[in-house]
Structure 1
Amino acid sequence: MLTRMTRDEIDPADVKLLRAFNRTYTQRISVLEPYLGSALSLTEVRILYELAHQGPCAAADLARDLTLDAGYLSRVLRQFTQQGWITAAPHPDDARRKQLALTPAGWAVFEPLQQRSREQVADLLATLAPDQRAQLVAALRTAHGLLAPAQAPTRTAVLREPRPGDMGWVIEQHGALYASEFGWNSEFEALVAEIVAGMLRTHDPAWERGWIAELDGQRVGSVFVVRKSATEAQLRLLILAPAARGLGLGGRLTDECVAFARAKGYAKLVLWTNANLAAARAIYAQRGFQRVASKPYHGYGQDLVGETWELGLQAAG
């Protein structure tokens, strides 16, 4: 049974150590200055982060998730709206509520900050030797597990770059999942194998990127951005294992593709899917993709409808 201590029972040296860590870390990442060289505060960037990763959401949800004062949040959102970074639309289930979402201009502001934050932390970790990095990561994982809210068991979801052996897993997952869930035959697994082989042979790391999703250390998903032309990129091979669904990982994988393609200056991100893949189509639609073509065909032992979807990536204004 957990025994809680009173404030007076806590060792002052422990309090001093935690405060010293807070000062050291906030100084290293320049939290006390305009965040990441922008004109925004850390809190304002966190609001943009939540809008980018949650998708459309209500102001009340943001206030709850970020434990922000409603009045302060309202002022920030009003400022973001005036700058053209967010829009508000009626909630599909309750017209009295508004759903907030980033505009293309908002994405153009947020994405460089997100990339800069990743680079800042990577640079910080790069100053440590491998064994020191392992020590720090283990300590941070322990601290996070102890201090994070304990309403539900903590699950660790990570998006990482593909490693040797991952692409074989991508092929196997597509073959197994589409056979079990939709009855597709081995023609589909052969197609995925051909796509993967082509991607590996012609991969251009300057313009293309892939992500493997891990949940509690196990591979559960994938997605890739490949170059079609100087102005057009293609999203390929988005998949998520059943055990990882409902956690927002499909959306996170798609968001990484959109952010990468925008950051690289592509004008358009396209994808091809099928009309019966309802979950994937919902993810694309929520992020502004539009269906631009639809054509029935027979493939993989089924009568299907193939669809082409597109997302314009140019920032407004």
Structure 2
Amino acid sequence: MNKKYISKIRAFNRFYTNIIGLLDTHILDSKYSLPEARIIFEIYHNPGFTASDIIELLDIDKGYLSRILKRFEKQKIISKTVSLTDKRVFMLQLTKLGEKEFLKLNTNSEHQLKRVFAHLSPLESQTLLQNMESIKTLSNKSKIALDDIKIRTYLKPGDLGFIIYRHGKLYAEEFQYGISFETYVARGIHEFYQSYNPDKERIWVCEHNGQIIGFLLLMKRENNSAQLRYFYIEKRYRGIGLGRKLMQLYMDFFHSCGYTSCYLLTADELETAASLYLNHGFELTKEIESTTFGKPVIERRYDLHVLKNKNSIKK
């Protein structure tokens, strides 16, 4: 990350800590510092936590934590119980007084946030939460799991425009396609919706934390044929099995509708997607050189045919 980005992140940190008062010696009109309040919070929500658990979760200095816990024990905020499995380990829990202190902190925190963000409309509040989730996701080094992704099969206002926009942006950034590609996608999306039949056609919209991160579309064509279109997944969400899942959902719907053939148009640069198509029975049937999208590419057509009277793919 370059210095310009780091400077902006630091500026945001200063802005946010100022908003919620983290620079105050004591937070939420209490006698506790931020680390002390966090420790109370974690023990309340995780009774039986150990000092090691807190160190790992909060990345706090062992000696500093030890001093805080000793003070809390002296003030009767917490109590310790020897672990049944390891006599050297003490499990932590809040006392009745500690629970009262937590509830005060929690109530004050809720009131503070309501006050700070009272001016936001419901839509602005939703946008704020989505952006906060994005910060968490991008900052988290652990990999996103497939189960974290929601897939819906109905359209919401803004979906189609967003798909056009993301195709234009992604293909420009990753493959240097020109504006002509975005207009091509726009024409295709318009064609699809003009005759959209949910019984024979389907969209799969992938979302994470309320934001669209992937898409696939099955479009009805003549002669009991279907076309696979607009298959894309945001870069951060590749490699978790989402592409395979979307292809399986596509094939399941394709067969349930009784289609006898399917095709798709793509380019030679999309090798990962091509392997998915081949694994599901598609065959490369045509290649032509083209500059349609503002650069030289090899356009490819893949076809799939279902054997008559059999639930199998012709190979």
Identity %: 27
Q: 2:298 aligns with which of 285, 302, 305?
A: 305
> For the residues of structure 2 that align with 1:202 and 1:171, how far apart are their CA atoms?
18
> For the residues of structure 1 that align with 2:149 and 2:297, how far apart are their CA atoms?
33
Q: 1:283 aligns with which of 253, 268, 276?
A: 276
Higher relative contact order (CA 8 A, sep 6+): 1
Q: Mark the CA change 1:153 to 1:284 in structure 2 (over 3 Å): closer, same or farther.
A: closer
Q: 1:253 aligns with which of 243, 246, 250?
A: 246
> For the residues of structure 1 that align with 2:247 and 2:144, how far apart are their CA atoms?
25
Task: Say whether 1:225 aligns with 2:211.
Answer: no
Task: Say whether 1:156 aligns with 2:148.
Answer: yes
Question: Conserved in 1, the CA contact under 8 Å of 2:287 and 2:298?
Answer: yes
Amino acid at match of 2:227: Q
Kindly report the root-mean-square deviation, in angstroms, between the aligned alpha carbons of the 2 structures.
Answer: 2.5
Return the offset for 1:251.
1.7
Structure 2 match to 1:265:
258
Return the offset for 1:216.
3.3
Task: Say whether 1:191 aligns with 2:191.
Answer: no
TM, length-normalised to structure 1:
0.51
Return the offset for 1:235.
0.5
Tell me which structure has the larger Cα radius of gyration: 2
> For the residues of structure 2 that align with 1:178 and 1:308, how far apart are their CA atoms?
18
Per-residue CA deviations over 1:136-187 (Å, capped at 9, x if unaligned) read xxxxxxxxxxxxxxx9776511110221111111001100000000000100
Return the offset for 1:207.
1.1
> For the residues of structure 2 that align with 1:157 and 1:173, how far apart are their CA atoms?
18
Return the offset for 1:298.
1.3
Q: Mark the CA change 1:153 to 1:228 in structure 2 (over 3 Å): closer, same or farther.
A: closer
> For the residues of structure 1 that align with 2:221 and 2:280, how far apart are their CA atoms?
21
Amino acid at match of 2:152: R
Any stretches of 5+ residues in structure 1 without a counterpart? 7-150
Question: Conserved in 1, the CA contact under 8 Å of 2:290 and 2:298?
Answer: yes
SS of equivalent to 1:280: helix
Task: Say whether 1:214 aligns with 2:215.
Answer: no
Return the offset for 1:289.
1.2
Return the offset for 1:233.
0.5
TM, length-normalised to structure 2:
0.51
> For the residues of structure 2 that align with 1:170 and 1:213, how far apart are their CA atoms?
11
Q: Mark the CA change 1:206 to 1:245 in structure 2 (over 3 Å): closer, same or farther.
A: same
Amino acid at match of 1:229: E
Structure 2 match to 1:113:
none
Return the offset for 1:2.
7.1
SS of equivalent to 1:300: coil
SS of equivalent to 1:193: helix
Q: Mark the CA change 1:218 to 1:3 in structure 2 (over 3 Å): closer, same or farther.
A: same
User: Once structures 1 and 2 are overlaid, which stretch shifts more, 184-193 or 158-167?
Assistant: 158-167
Q: Mark the CA change 1:287 to 1:153 in structure 2 (over 3 Å): closer, same or farther.
A: closer
Q: Mark the CA change 1:276 to 1:153 in structure 2 (over 3 Å): closer, same or farther.
A: closer
Amino acid at match of 1:219: I
How many pairs were matched up? 174
Per-residue CA deviations over 1:243-291 (Å, capped at 9, x if unaligned) read 1111111222222111111100001121111111112112112222111
SS of equivalent to 1:169: helix
Per-residue CA deviations over 1:41-100 (Å, capped at 9, x if unaligned) read xxxxxxxxxxxxxxxxxxxxxxxxxxxxxxxxxxxxxxxxxxxxxxxxxxxxxxxxxxxx
Runs of 4+ more than 4 Å apart: 151-155
Q: 1:294 aligns with which of 287, 291, 296?
A: 287
